[in-house]
A and B are shown apart, each in its own frame.
Chain A
């Protein structure tokens, strides 16, 4: 009953959910803004790509799968761009990066 494509799609979606969980733990636990952005920028990008590829495999060969692949390509371009833009705005705006040995420097702005 379970064909190969469905099992492959389930594996991709479970991997995507795992990386969503790790990104959430990172954004909740890390000590300052730049480390939180490091966790959520890379983890969310990989998780979204894995989830979208899994959904496209489950959908099969159709126009909807093509649109899902287009969303995956767009997210792979847009998510690092957004992370870079918000990180540069924070650095220019005076958010101090956390150094090793300091206490938790969680000032924001």
Chain B
């Protein structure tokens, strides 16, 4: 089962590098924010899989929970900032 988790985690790492193309070359700031949100979602699963591989899930699940909260708050703050700034 550890090999299975390692395979899934490496596949998600490859997907993160694919989405990183949209962050670097994506036209405009909204494309970059949406791609960063997708990268954060994949990183949450990668953190939990790392916890299962190392055998210390009870520590990694707290890190993953904080990562989910910070990702959500970051996207909301960016949306609020950009919406207000362009309405003026």
Contact = CB atoms under 8 A, between A and B. Distances in A.
Interface string B22-61: 1000111111011101100110110011001000011001
Contacts of A44: 37-38, 41-42
Given A21-B15, A92-B87, A108-B26, A85 B79 contact: yes
B28 A109 contact: yes
B34 A71 contact: no
Contacts of B83: 88-89, 92-93
B49 to A, nearest CB: 8
Interface residues of B, number: 47
Nearest to B81: A89
B30 A28 contact: no
A27 B22 contact: yes
Contacts, number: 136
B77 to A, nearest CB: 10
A99 B68 CA distance: 34
Contact of A48 (B11, B29, B30, B41): B41
A67 B34 contact: no
B6 interface: no
A108 B45 CA distance: 29
A47 B46 CA distance: 13
Contacts of A23: 38
A79 B44 CA distance: 13
Interface of A: 6, 10, 13-14, 16-17, 20-21, 23-24, 27-28, 33, 36-37, 40, 44, 47-48, 51-52, 55, 58-59, 63-64, 67-68, 70-71, 74-75, 78-79, 81-82, 85-86, 88-90, 92-95, 106-109
